[in-house]
Amino acid sequence: MWNKSAEAKPSSQPNETAVPVIPAPAADTQPASSILVPSSAPQNSVQVNPITPSSTSVTTIAAGLKISGDISGTTDLYIDGETQGKVRLPNARVTVGPNGRVQADIEAREIMIEGTVLGNLKAGERLHLGTASRVQGSILTPRFAIEDGARLRGKVEMVRTGNSRLNSSPVTAVEVEKAKAMSASGKDE
Amino acid sequence: MSWQAKPRLTATPVSDARPKPAPSAVAATSANVRVSNGLKEFLWLLSDSKQGRILDLGQVSQATLTFFIEKGFRVSTEDLLRAWKEFLVAEEENFRKAPVGNQAAEVSPTLFADKFLETAIQYPAEHFHGVLAWDIFDYLDAQLLPKVMDRLYAILQPGGAVLSLFHSRTPERFSRYRISDPQTIELLPASTLSVHARVFQNREILDIFGKFRSSKTFVGRDQVREGLFLK
């Protein structure tokens, strides 16, 4: 019932009150960062620094670069250029800078968008759309922050950490009580 | 078709335990916040829907998204006015670049509307339980408006609802909207995205929603009419 759910409604800001800062790709503070190939490179998959993963390492695709092909790996990625191909960094952060343009799906632990993305976004932990961001595609994330001015055309779904969709399997209080009762009585369905 | 209080079409028995929202006595607490009985009724209608789907045709807002997602809804957003503006700018640019006498560059408002809807509001039939249209109908071109209405009707489920606002006079400024709580809409001043096209009379509103089976309006102290239309 509507009013009942309002009582139990958690905060309207889902654990995401602080606006994350989009990291600027400062070369002197990122010893492990590397610049990827220019647009003339062959259209194959690009592995992002898989040998020396580091929490401080950031790979940068600078403005003016264009990459065609899938990107996967373990280091954080800052895209300020243009990419066409899936970006899959499930244990890292992907940031699309203000000049960045991605025409493919992105899957990462954290996704920060300040530029343009034409594709679906799947974040393992959180997703942030900055004020200048433009996204066309579906969003799947456990937490998100959307600044005023962001443009989104697509569907938004929240998932619990561990990838069970909130919207697909909402657990009601009744179901919890039922499960507890069944557990206590030793029944199993 | 009378304007006020039509028979409810949703399968809601009279003995339903859910308390029907009563119109609030408070009209508006400040210039940027308005108490919305239309929203309250909209939410009440949607409360029957498990994992309902909502389409928000305004600017994406975290508050609105969170509001519905926390209640188990799936939300799609499409900023229709911005998309329309960007489409017109792109078409104008194409027209400017086209060689003189190019038949392909022929323009007409109806042609524009058809072309725009080839990419806008593209969803399966009867997909949504509710549509938040805000005040976009006040801003749409006369040729585009009926086509948008047809599309919205097609993507709504039977019994689905459209919540829309209609200004009773030309608004002083362009605003976007977001939901603060189940009965409050917040107005966000924004740079003018589109020129206010017209002030609808009640009869005109009924005409453009002619396909819908039921309607209800609420008038706030700010003279903004909230319309709730059921398919």
> Residue B99 above 80 pLDDT?
no
Distance from CA of B44 to the nearest CA of A (A): 7
Q: What is the pLDDT of residue B217?
A: 87
Q: What is the pLDDT of residue B189?
A: 84
Query: What is the ipTM score, two decimals?
Result: 0.73
> Residue A13 above 80 pLDDT?
no
pLDDT of A57-112, one tens digit each?
889 999 999 999 999 999 999 999 999 999 999 999 999 999 999 999 999 999 99
B168 closest CA partner among B82, B227, B211: B227
Residues in chain A closer than 8 A to B77 (CB atoms):
152-154, 156
> Residue B107 above 80 pLDDT?
no
CA of B67: which chain A residue's CA is closest?
A: A12
B51 touches A: beta carbon within 8 Å: yes
Q: What is the pLDDT of residue B106?
A: 64
pLDDT of B182-204, one tens digit each?
989 988 888 877 788 888 988 89
Interface test with A, best of B74, B87, B187 (most A CBs within 10 A): B74
Interface test with B, best of A160, A167, A172, A175 (most B CBs within 10 A): A167
Q: Do A167 and B61 touch (CB under 8 A)?
A: no
Q: What is the pLDDT of residue A148?
A: 85
> Residue B56 above 80 pLDDT?
yes
A35 closest CA partner among A71, A62, A6, A72: A62
Task: Outline where DSSP puts E strands in chain B.
Answer: 33-35, 53-56, 74-77, 128-134, 156-166, 175-181, 184-189, 214-219, 225-230
> Residue B2 above 80 pLDDT?
no
- In percent, the amount of chain B with pLDDT more than 70 equals 84
B78 touches A: beta carbon within 8 Å: yes
Residue B24 lies in a domain: no
DSSP annotation of B136: G
B75 closest CA partner among B86, B64, B85: B64
CA A121, CA A104: separation in Å to the nearest integer? 9
- In percent, the amount of chain A with pLDDT more than 90 equals 48
Q: What is the pLDDT of residue B1?
A: 41
CA A94, CA A126: separation in Å to the nearest integer? 11
Higher pLDDT, B176 or A172: B176
CA of B80: which chain A residue's CA is closest?
A: A153
Distance from CA of B201 to the nearest CA of A (A): 31
pLDDT of B111-123, one tens digit each?
889 999 999 999 9
Residues in chain A closer than 8 A to B43 (CB atoms):
2
Range from A68-72, A151-155, A175-179, B167-171 carrying the lowest mean pLDDT: A175-179
Confidence band, pLDDT 50/70/90 cuts, at residue A128: very high
Higher pLDDT, B159 or B99: B159
Q: Do A145 and B62 touch (CB under 8 A)?
A: yes
What mean pLDDT comes out for the span B37-59?
A: 88
> Residue B154 above 80 pLDDT?
yes
Domain carrying residue B212: 33-99+106-230
Q: Do B51 and A167 touch (CB under 8 A)?
A: yes
Distance from CA of A12 to the nearest CA of B (A): 6
Contacts with B74 (C-beta within 8 Å, 6 or more apart), sequence order: A155, A156, A157, A167, B51, B52, B53, B54
B158 touches A: beta carbon within 8 Å: no
Question: How many structural domains compose chain B?
Answer: 1
Q: What is the pLDDT of residue B102?
A: 64
Strands A151-158 and B74-77, how do they pair?
Answer: antiparallel
B188 touches A: beta carbon within 8 Å: yes
Q: What is the pLDDT of residue B105?
A: 59
What mean pLDDT comes out for the span A35-54?
A: 43
The dihedrals phi and psi of B229, each to the nearest 5 degrees, come to -125, 130
Q: What is the pLDDT of residue B169?
A: 87
Higher pLDDT, B60 or A183: B60
Q: CATH number of the domain that B121 lies in?
A: 3.40.50
Residue B65 CB neighbours (<10 A): 25
pLDDT of B18-35, one tens digit each?
555 554 444 444 568 888
Distance from CA of A162 to the nearest CA of B (A): 18
